[in-house]
Amino acid sequence: MRLGEKGVRLTPQAKQNERVLSGMRPTGMLHLGHYHGVLKNWLELQHSYECFFFVADWHALTTNYEEPQDISANTLDMVIDWLSVGIVPGASHLFVQSRVHEHAELHLLLSMVTPLSWLERIPSYKDQQQVLKGKDLATYGFLGYPLLQSADILIYRAGLVPVGEDQVAHVELTREVARRFNHLYGTEPDFAAKAEKAIAKMGNKNAKLYRQLRKQYTEQGDQEALEVAKALLEGQQNISIGDKERLFGYLEGGGKIILREPEALLTKQAKVIGLDGQKMSKSYNNTIALREPPESIEKKIRTMPTDPARVRKKDPGDPEKCPVWSFHQVYSDQSVKDWVVEGCKTAGIGCLECKRPVIEAVQQELAPVRERAEEYTEDISTVESIINEGCEAAREVARDTLDDVRKAMRFIK
């Protein structure tokens, strides 16, 4: 058994059994932050698991419903970037959320069983309202978007969901929703009918009490109600042992697992920070795009701020106070890093000199990406057929799950 870099066991069985699912909002052209924070992880996963990667275009509406006009162009650009960094359509399925309508139906059904309080207590709900003050986030869609994400995940019965720290709470919600759903509906088709018949045999008063206690336990997790209900069953004389067993099972759910509980796979890759030392993000205007032209890469890094103590070349500095140093951590080997620390602290090197190896490494990394992106841009029909195939593969899995869901809820036989 081999341990993968992120602590996940990569065994042949894992490969067969686990399905990986992840999504990204269509923000348009991706940048180095996405590459080192997310995509490198996807690149690794695609060779060990069956991977589904999708453009979460409906999710873009949850914070941006006023401007839907850019979403489809951004979607295409993002998929081109995925392909250009080396996501292989033969190894991964690439699709677009809005083209797989099954997500919407599952979201609707899950919304019926999800307590409002579960959504209201998710940290991102209040946090984002603080951060995005200028936006109208008082919508139903914004409150419900973590549940839409749950539907995205559950519909593929994904075992692993690679996400960043900020999304772990959403995977946790997904697990709770799956558990609740299985609990409510995960029984054999005639199980509920048989259980109901058995309840009736207990007599009106006991039947009523049993129903009430069961409700308290399944809906509110009331342990005491569970204990009382068990004691009630123990004391029943009028019902057969078979019926008693059935009612114990009915009490705790104990049925079939329809929706699988996923695990979050925390992405722990070295993060490239922004040109100004903050997180790399389009909204901070501190990015290097994956398709950034070479002259622009050169210029952006040359003009990056450095340790403010180094006003002149003869002033010593401290790499820890310099955003360029974080680039060295990602791109440079030990000998270069030693050279930087020594040269910076003793004022032996100038900042431009120090930036040179970073510029070269970024140029080298992005040249082939840019080239492939150009090829795909000139051949959009290939990109479209990759997306079509991905959507088809996704639909096949999604329909299968939804079929089970509809059966479990008795909409179909």
Residue 31: CB minimum distance to ligand SF4, A: 21
Cβ proximity to ligand TRP: between 22 and 48 the closer is 22
Pick from ligand TRP, ligand SF4, none: which does 149 bind, CB < 5 to 8 A by kind? ligand TRP
CA 107 to the chain's CA centroid: 16
Residue 307: CB minimum distance to ligand SF4, A: 4
**Is 293 exposed, middle or buried (CB count within 10 Å of its CB: 0-12, 13-18, 19+)?**
exposed
Contacts of 6 (CB under 8 A, 6+ apart): 41, 265, 266, 267, 268
User: Is 23 an interacting residue with respect to ligand TRP (CB under 6 A)?
Assistant: yes
Measured CA to CA, the distance from residue 157 to residue 61 in angstroms comes to: 25
Cβ proximity to ligand TRP: between 84 and 167 the closer is 167
Cβ proximity to ligand TRP: between 279 and 300 the closer is 279
Which listed residue (71, 161, 247, 386) binds ligand TRP by CB under 6 A? 161
Residue 409: CB minimum distance to ligand TRP, A: 23
Cβ atoms 397, 98 nearer than 8 A? no
Give the interface with ligand SF4 as residue ranges (CB under 6 A): 306-307, 310, 317, 319, 322, 324-325, 340, 344, 349, 351, 354-355
Pick from ligand SF4, ligand TRP, none: which does 306 bind, CB < 5 to 8 A by kind? ligand SF4
Cβ proximity to ligand TRP: between 265 and 386 the closer is 265
User: Is 81 an interacting residue with respect to ligand TRP (CB under 6 A)?
Assistant: no
User: Is 62 an interacting residue with respect to ligand TRP (CB under 6 A)?
Assistant: no
Token pair of 410, please? 């008795």
Which listed residue (32, 96, 147, 153) binds ligand TRP by CB under 6 A? 153
User: Is 60 an interacting residue with respect to ligand TRP (CB under 6 A)?
Assistant: no
Pick from ligand SF4, ligand TRP, none: which does 344 bind, CB < 5 to 8 A by kind? ligand SF4
Give the chain's end-to-end CA distance (angstroms, integer).
Answer: 42
Cβ proximity to ligand TRP: between 149 and 306 the closer is 149
User: Is 25 an interacting residue with respect to ligand TRP (CB under 6 A)?
Assistant: yes
Residues in binding contact with ligand TRP, number by CB under 6 A: 13
User: Is 262 an interacting residue with respect to ligand TRP (CB under 6 A)?
Assistant: no
Of 88-96, 149-157, 231-239, 394-402, the window that binds ligand TRP (rule: CB under 6 A) is: 149-157
Helices 223-234, 204-220: inter-axial angle, 10-degree rounding: 150
Cβ proximity to ligand SF4: between 161 and 322 the closer is 322
Task: Tell me the per-residue interface mask from 164 to 183 with ligand TRP, x by CB under 6 A, - otherwise.
Answer: ---x----------------
Cβ atoms 14, 49 nearer than 8 A? yes
